[in-house]
Structure 1
Amino acid sequence: MSTATVAHFPSGSATRPAQSTPLVRFAGVQKTYDGVHLVVRGLDLDIRRGEFLTLLGPSGSGKTTTLMMLAGFESPTAGEIQLDGKPITRTPPHKRNFGMVFQNYALFPHMTVGDNVAYPLSVRRVPSAERAKRVAQALDMVRLGGMAGRYPGQLSGGQQQRVALARALVFNPQLVLMDEPLGALDKQLREHMQIELKELHRQLGVSFVYVTHDQGEALTMSDRVAVFNDGDIQQLAPVTEMYETPVNRFVAGFIGDSTDFKGTVRATEGGRCGIVLADGRVVTGLNVNGAVVGDSVQASIRPERIVLHRDLAAAGHPNRLQARVIDLIYFGDHLRALCEPGTGQPEAVVKLPLGGQPPQPGDEVVLELPSELTRIYL
């Protein structure tokens, strides 16, 4: 998105204030629908001013319920939600000054694009002249200038999503909430919109809270990611930290690709441990969760960090496992070798750069797992 297309509303600012008080705070928030099963369990979460925070997790993990409680469409069963240090748990949605973008766009089909975008200003009784000016700014901002007179049914899915975004931003919200807003778009358009959303966030400096189950979206756009599972946040961290240093095996498997080996701890030393696989081979790595001797564990490593050796003589060194290539898959910018690493072990995936002569199905190879990049999880 060109910076020239981004409008700055009168009370908005692209400068993110360095303030210690979070914009939003969840304190001990719980949610149950049946009085028995907790959909959200004792949530403590601070949302910073001006950040792009993504709530990521599988279906039923609690991420959407968390967003709906923040929006005011659901009420917590216990705990408190604060905005600028003041409780908003009982504040109705229309008084929270939050913009909302839904997956299905939620546009009024009988109203023009301009009227759809103007709707939040109309209910706030903004004078017509100011309303028209801000609608034009918002449409220019999402590159829909000149389309105010059209109806939603005359627009593509991507254009409708831009209208929904303009409507969410036109009244200068201090927080924009997005519930899987790109889920209905095709892959190419979705990836294009991810870049545009990130650029728009950078230009405006408004806090974005984004819900998705798509790890690629989370890594592409976010400042921080909160990974949910079973009603709890498993890890909250910047995207690079989340990818490089997952805190448990769920996060390691949910964020990015992971190649795993099962074994039993046979020794620990400092922050490392050695594990023995079912066939007696030994792998060492970082002892992430404090495993002790005898624990059943999983050694995980990113597929692009594995070094594949064609010379079987390399197998005589530590953290090197002989394996057999069973398939080779072309991904456009890289190859993936699927390998059978031994009895009782899941399939190992190795990412290989293009070029040279890759191994072929049936070839015996050696997989080197650098110990400093191998993480051992309970």
Structure 2
Amino acid sequence: MESAQALVTFTGVQKTYDGHTLVVRDLNLEIQKGEFLSLLGPSGSGKTTTLMMLAGFESPTSGEISLNGVPITRTPPHKRNFGMVFQNYALFPHMTVADNIAYPLTVRKLDKNEVDTKVRRALDMVQMGHMGSRFPGQLSGGQQQRVALARALVFDPQLVLMDEPLGALDKQLREHMQIELKALHRRLGVTFVYVTHDQSEALTMSDRVAVFNEGVIQQIDVVDRLYETPANRFVASFVGDNSVLDARVIQNHGETCEVQLADGVHLHGVNVNHAQVGDTVQCSVRPERIALVGTESSSGNRLPASVNDVIYFGDHLRLRCQVPGQPELSVKVPLQHLGHMAAGQTVHLHIPPEHLRIYL
């Protein structure tokens, strides 16, 4: 996409707090109008600092942030006109729900009739039309989160920034709110930038995900490509479950290569980082891509393994398998194998070459 279409552009942005360690390094990022972009990464990876620089609560040490092509690096937060939702909701306890939502409008000195109309619309938007007169203390965590969201949306911002907004909710409510947020985003067409360390949350909700580690975006992509074709070892291990085999490259065919495991088994896979013959590599495959095959199968990319444990997950079985000289391998199999699998038995695994990704 051309940068002319980008709503927000980070150009060469860096941030250090102590003058030595870069929390964010050489960040170049385009956020498109109307997209749901998640910033995903472990604690300390730079994702929240990036959000805070976009909000204006932190200033970049160097580089420039632009909105619609206009630099905003030195624009104070209240003049950026962005909605913000935090994990702790930050609601005023002494004010009713309606007054909490009205707050950004009263600060902007809108007249009372307009305020009332916009507050009613925002309450309906988050399905809380009947709760305007309650106080935050009378609401559940999920309801408080909706009020915080309505307050962030009430003044029609062009950008809504969210920092782990569902982190304090229990699993079931969090999953419910993920679906609601995604539906709300579709309905409104506002640009959402969402910080999370929860990879399943990022995959469920986003149009694109930027994976951060050590202040650098490791990969930014649409969710299915991010999951199916991770760019490096870090992304493969951080996004989704990952089974790993250590190996050495014995033949290089450019886009693909052949590797040998410690026990002599040969496998073919995708040569992601252009490993050369003799390189020590890590072979990565999603557990659901590994299939159980019979001993009579003549397909390549097979390896024998012994089952250490069979775990029942409700909608599938997880086998913990041991291959000689390798870390434990996780294999997801359908429920039809229930009762046929037991610890101690030997199985034959098939890894499709197109799903075995080989990383330096």
TM-score (norm 2): 0.98
Amino acid at match of 1:338: R
Tell whether 2:262 aligns with 1:281.
no
Give me the whole-angstrom Cα distance separating, in 2, the residues matched to 1:322 and 1:104: 50
Match of 2:327 in 1: 346
Counterpart residue type for residue 42 of structure 1: D
Question: What is aligned with 1:110?
Answer: 94
Question: How many pairs are equivalent?
Answer: 358
Q: Which whole-Å CA distance do the structure 2 matches of 1:126 and 1:240 have between them?
A: 43
Residue correspondence of structure 1 range 42-191 to structure 2 within 5 A = 42-191=26-175
Would the alpha carbon gap of residues 48 and 184 (structure 1) be closer, same or farther in structure 2, given more than 3 Å must change? same
Question: Is the 8 Å Cα contact of residues 169 and 176 (structure 1) preserved in structure 2?
Answer: yes
Residue of structure 1 aligned with 2:300, choices 297, 308, 318: 318
Counterpart residue type for residue 153 of structure 2: L
CA contact (8 A) 2:13 2:28 kept: yes
Alignment RMSD, CA only? 1.2
* AA partner of residue 355 (structure 1): Q
The match for 1:364 is 346
Who is 1:236 aligned against?
Answer: 220
* Aligned ranges 1:221-232 → 2 under 5 Å: 221-232=205-216
SS of corresponding position for 2:58: coil
Cα displacement (A) at 1:20: 4.1
Mapping for residues 262-301 of structure 1, pairs under 5 Å: 262-301=246-285
Q: CA deviation at 1:45?
A: 0.1
Q: For the Cα contact (< 8 Å) 2:4–2:69, is it kept in 1?
A: no
Q: Distance in 2 between matches of 1:120 and 1:358?
A: 61
Distance 1:119 1:128 in 2: 12
**Which AA in structure 2 matches 1:215?**
Q
CA displacement, residues 124-151 of structure 1 (integer Å, 9 cap, x when unaligned): 0010110011001100110111111110
Which 4+ residue blocks in structure 1 deviate beyond 6 angstroms? none
Are positions 1:355 and 2:336 aligned together? yes
- Taking a change above 3 Å as real, the CA distance of residues 358 and 24 of structure 1, as seen in their structure-2 partners, is farther
Change (3 A) 1:263 1:362: same
What TM-score, normalized to structure 1? Answer: 0.93
Give the Cα separation in 1 of the matches to 2:150 and 2:247. 52
- Using the alignment, how far apart are the partners of 2:108 and 2:87 within structure 1? 24
Identity of aligned residues (%): 67
Unaligned runs of 5+ in 1: 1-17
Decide whether the 8 Å contact of 2:254 with 2:274 is kept in 1.
no
Secondary structure (helix, strand or coil) at the match of 1:312 reads coil
Where does the alignment leave 5 or more consecutive residues of structure 2 unmatched?
A: none
Q: In the TM superposition, what is the alpha-carbon distance from 1:359 to its structure 2 partner?
A: 1.5
1:201-220 mapped onto 2 (5 Å cutoff): 201-220=185-204
Q: Deviations over 1:320-368 (max 9, x none)?
A: 110000111111111101100112x111111011124432111100111
* C-alpha displacement of 1:294: 1.1
Q: Using the alignment, how far apart are the partners of 2:61 and 2:324 within structure 1?
A: 49
Offset at residue 80 of structure 1 (A): 0.2
Could you report, residue by residue, the CA deviation over 1:21-69 in whole angstroms, capped at 9, with x for unpaired residues? 2000000000000000000000000000000000000000000000000
Contact 2:64/2:71, CA 8 A, preserved across alignment: yes
In structure 1, distance between residues paired with 2:35 and 2:260: 43
Q: Corresponding residue for 1:334?
A: 316
